[in-house]
Amino acid sequence: MPRGLVGRDAAALTWLGGLMEQPTIAEDVLTIDRPSAMAAAEMLPDGLVTANSDGRITFLNHRARQILGSWADGLVGRHLRDGIPLETRNGDSWWDVTDPWRGLQIRTGHREKLLQLPDGRELLVTARYLRKDQAGPLGAIFLGLRDAEARRRAEQDHAALISTIAHELRSPLTGVKGFSSTLLRRWAQFGEEQRLTMLRAIDGDADRLTRLITDLLDVSRIDAGKLRIHEVPLPIRETFTRHVDRLAANGHDASDFTVTVEPGAEEVYADADRLDQVLANLIENALRHGEGHVELSATPHDDDGTPGIVIGVRDDGPGIPEEKRRVVFGRFWHGQSGSGTGLGLYIVRGIVEAHGGWADIGDSPGGGAMVRVFLPSEPV
């Protein structure tokens, strides 16, 4: 407890918190002196504005002054309508919409709402109407104020996600539409090999769309903590080889991939589909940011008494600067290429942590970057 906030000041802080939760003014209002109540209000992390039954502002704490900025000048004694002219996003006066003075007397306030001042500054506002008794006349108004910057950042993240996904979806959809329309209009004019080429392109673009949609669903599951896994013993060398064969079938040179499995790391306990997703993202990331050669490795590892294996994916690119390594597993991180959705490594970390493991990134011994993921030998 901060120095000086003892006795009646502590009681005042408890009292202020209670007022924001109850609809009527309790008897202990009369036992709390104003200096103690004001001192307690200054300890609140949010802005607090109080007004009497007529709507005249009687007090605002320091945090409220910070949030309101220039609007806080000379507020005490002014009416709420004039001093804090809150508006909805449609530009309507929030005080006209709510009208605490002539509205229903059973109302006790409003939950947090995103409102704005006439200059466009956004605020998160909570209102509490205090009454002499249940459904009685209005006794006082408490406004809780919060800066909307955190909400704005969240909205910007959502907008960035929508923009990124729309951009990534446009390319494969354009390919699917273009090739399918061409085949429908001119089927007889193409030879069998040309038709197969266009159908393979459509199939590849459809797979890409499926991966994008899967990534979006996985991001939502990771954020909600609802990512489910079904662990089974898996042979790691065969898993590596299957990914290399798939890439070779798509035009990559199989000699560009090196597979190393050390003794004791021949088997991993993991969800088969999720492990494939992790490897696909890591290999794609290595190919995008490297010079063409990728090394896949598996080594036994004991993580503070928890046995398991470390899967490493190395590239031969420029690597990741040390100061940026803390952000590469975040959403929307892009390397120098700037391509992709920026969700791959975020999903990798979410899947690995759902297995009870961890993921990190460092320098590859031969140059470039190396992403490592640890998976325990026992199921979560």
pLDDT at position 16 is 53
Any residues with CB less than 8 A from the CB of 175 and at least 6 apart, and which?
201, 202, 205
pLDDT at position 270 is 93
Whole-number average pLDDT of the chain? 82
Q: What digits encode the pLDDT tens for the residues 74-105? A: 899 999 999 999 998 888 899 988 888 887 87
- Domains and their CATH numbers in the chain: 8-147 (3.30.450.20), 152-224 (1.10.287.130), 231-376 (3.30.565.10)
pLDDT at position 34 is 64
pLDDT at position 27 is 44
How far apart CA 320 and CA 299 sit, in angstroms, is: 23
Task: Examine the pLDDT at 20 and tell me if it is beyond 90.
Answer: no
How far apart CA 190 and CA 187 sit, in angstroms, is: 6
The answer to whether 374 and 358 have CB atoms below 8 angstroms apart is yes
Say if strands 138-147 and 47-52 run parallel, antiparallel, or are unpaired: antiparallel
Q: Which of 355, 328, 370, 360 is nearest to 222 (CA)?
A: 355
Greater confidence (344 vs 241) lies with 241
pLDDT bucket at 240, cuts 50 / 70 / 90? very high
The answer to whether 32 and 15 have CB atoms below 8 angstroms apart is yes
Q: Which of 82, 80, 68 is nearest to 140 (CA)?
A: 80
How far apart CA 187 and CA 176 sit, in angstroms, is: 15
Task: Examine the pLDDT at 172 and tell me if it is beyond 60.
Answer: yes
How far apart CA 127 and CA 67 sit, in angstroms, is: 16
Mean pLDDT of 324-351: 74
How far apart CA 378 and CA 373 sit, in angstroms, is: 15
Q: What digits encode the pLDDT tens for the residues 57-66? A: 988 999 999 9
pLDDT at position 356 is 92
pLDDT bucket at 363, cuts 50 / 70 / 90? confident
Task: Examine the pLDDT at 334 and tell me if it is beyond 70.
Answer: no
Three-state DSSP class for residue 354: helix
Q: What digits encode the pLDDT tens for the residues 173-202? A: 888 899 999 999 999 899 999 999 899 889
Mean pLDDT of 109-129: 88
Q: Which of 164, 146, 313 is nearest to 244 (CA)?
A: 313
The answer to whether 214 and 227 have CB atoms below 8 angstroms apart is no
Instruction: Sort 239 into a burial class: Cβ within 10 Å, 0-12 / 13-18 / 19+.
Output: buried
